[in-house]
Amino acid sequence: MTARVLFSAHERHFETWADALLESIRDRGINVELDFRCADPARYDYVVYSPDSELTDFSRFVNLKAVLSLWAGVETLAGNETIGCPIARMVDPKMIEGMTEWVTCQVLRYHLNFDLFLAAKPGEWLNHMGPPLARDRTVAILGLGQMGQACAGTLAALNFRVVGWSRTAKNIDGITCLSGDAGLDSAVSEAEILVILLPHTAATDSMFNSTLFRKCRRGAVLINSGRGALIDDDDLVSALDDGTLAHATLDVFREEPLPVTHPFWHHPKVSVWPHISSDSRASTASAVIAENIHRGETGKPLLHLVDRLRGY
């Protein structure tokens, strides 16, 4: 069997991914033709897709068996009405590992008051400012997909009291799991550290706004490595200005790169990160894509399918 695959992404990604993809697909006994530039949309069985691709109209790809995302976020695909085949998101174990490390680092930064001690002036001996134990600190993980569950488990293993929230009910050992509107209110009112790992959908757009911030525990800190559009930027600045929130660490934004004129760059209570909390790793993510191509070629159900109605 031969699978014809279009790699639709920025050229720099092709240079990184091509060899790993070809090897992973061939390891599953499939002949593969991998193209970077599209001459005839009708010839392709699969499109491997990155959001920085220029491809938006899939209507001429009449023989597609699946669109396979390179990244976890699929909002640019889920709402694309020209896609008439299944869409699979990326669930890469190394991406999850990287996100867990980044989130854990940011939580510990706040928990141990790193910023306070790094900003201390010469002679300012703050030995009365030691942190509590992790067991006395509540962290809310907002979004309990694979990444959220991994982060929650790692923080719980460090003895933090972890509260997890998702739109639908979940049951995870060692984690207090909440759901629905009432569960969200409870989670944000309890936690001193809020970690956002939700997808961007119509239901989550701007959900972190003044209404929700008013329900937060006063002086809580916010970490967002989910999607930038989850936050109302103006409302976040207001919540920081009036002390509702003490600080925000943001790795994702509505517009990227974040424009130099944006208030986040200049706000003393905002830490800006350039969307580097985690990334797909070609070595492991190629195996995920190759497995789905093998499944598509052998009539098996694809992994990590997107629910078009839910948006992820």
Distance between CA atoms of 281 and 285, rounded to whole angstroms? 6
227 is catalytic: yes
CA-to-CA dists, residue 66 to 13, 21, 220, 261, angstroms: 20, 16, 42, 40
Q: Which residue has the tokens 């790795």?
A: 251
267 is catalytic: no
Catalytic residue among 262, 275, 295, 308: 275
Distance between CA atoms of 165 and 184, rounded to whole angstroms? 6
Could you list the active site residues?
Answer: 227, 275
